[in-house]
Amino acid sequence: MTEIKGIIPPILTPMNEDESINIEELKNQVNRQIEAGVHGLFPFGTNGEGYILDAEEKELVLKTVVEETDGRVPVYAGTGCISTKETIRQSLMAKSVGADILSVITPSFAAASQEELYVHYKTVAEAVDLPIVLYNIPARTGNKLAPETVARLSKIPNIVGVKDSSGDFDNMLKYLELTKGEDFIVLSGNDSLILPCLKSGGVGGIAGCANVYPKVMVSIYEKYMAGDLEGAEKVQESIASFRACFKYGNPNTIVKTAVSMLGYPVGKCRAPFNQVPEEGIEALKRVLEENKEKGMC
């Protein structure tokens, strides 16, 4: 079983001006992240624009990441789709390409009952022999994985954990409480809650801000594991000014824009989710410069 821990960037998907995948820059970003000390890579998550990539593009991105990573860190694949059938299809593709772990987001658009969610995940788990991390992000999908449902799913052998991107720390604590004693992990999907998650028994975070500041995000985990709680708290606080820029647009659009402003040719997010107002650009410039002066990278 691959160990799940630490800081796992939902690596962005670089694109050319025509919105095709920029494979060479994707390879560059893989190496940039691994050299910064990340503990895994997660292609086509929210920051990787998995919501807007077609099946062929997802396979291309995953193949590229798996091959370039070459076993240096585990590779997580975001394979959740609206239907159970397509989720299984994408999950089997990920296994064939060489992913180590699946991250399966809840179905979206149509409202699902907790029983429907339970059956969905159970069916996927039975169809694909890979570790599965549940992915709760109700603000984006409209469907919340209740703690009681997560507790039920934790009994299924290859459902090994959950990523909570709800931003509701009480919900994360409930996940931890109801799965205590199980061989089951909890990851924060909200970058501001990584340290609180670790302090409460979680194992790390899938951190979008690591696309911008990989070494900074890794140091939250490393300092905490070394017993330097004060240092970990300072690093956790250091990303607040960047996260404050999320008010200017879609968070993953802000993240990709920031990476581009750092000098990496990652392109824009795919239309129509690619707009940042001028005031947002100016705010990003200020924050990136201030953080550069602090040595953040």
DSSP string, 215-250: HHHHHHHHHHHTT-HHHHHHHHHHTHHHHGGGGGS-
Q: In the chain, which ranges are E strands?
A: 6-8, 76-78, 101-105, 132-136, 159-164, 185-188, 204-206
Q: Rounded mean pLDDT of 218-232?
A: 98
Length of the chain, please? 297
pLDDT for 182 equals: 81
Question: DSSP alpha helices (H): ranges in 98-146?
Answer: 114-127, 138-141
> Given a cut of 80, is residue 1 above it in pLDDT?
no
Q: What is the pLDDT of residue 231?
A: 98
Structure confidence at residue 54 (pLDDT): 95
Q: 183 or 118: which carries more pLDDT confidence? A: 118
Query: Which residues have a catalytic role annotated?
Result: 135, 163
pLDDT score of 88: 98
With tokens 């490393």, the residue in question is: 222
Residues 242-292: pLDDT tens digits?
A: 999 999 999 999 999 999 999 999 999 999 999 999 999 999 999 999 999
- Tokens representing 29 are 């970003």
pLDDT at 119 over 70: yes
- The mean pLDDT value of the chain amounts to 97
Please tell me the predicted confidence (pLDDT) of residue 2.
Answer: 84
Angstrom distance (rounded) from CA 205 to CA 193: 8
What are the pLDDT digits (tens) for 158-195? Answer: 999 999 999 999 999 999 999 998 899 999 999 999 99
pLDDT band at 197 (very low <50, low <70, confident <90, very high): very high
For the segment 102-116, the average pLDDT, to the nearest whole number, is 97
The pLDDT of residue 155 is above 90: yes
List the chain domain ranges: 6-228
Strand-pair category, 101-105 with 132-136: parallel
For the domain covering 6-228, report its CATH number.
3.20.20.70
- pLDDT cut 90: percent of the chain above it: 98
Q: Which residues have C-beta within 8 Å of that of residue 3, sequence separation ≥ 6?
A: 74
With cut-offs at 50, 70 and 90, classify the pLDDT of residue 18.
Answer: very high
| Model confidence pLDDT, tens digit, residues 230-251 | 999 999 999 999 999 999 999 9
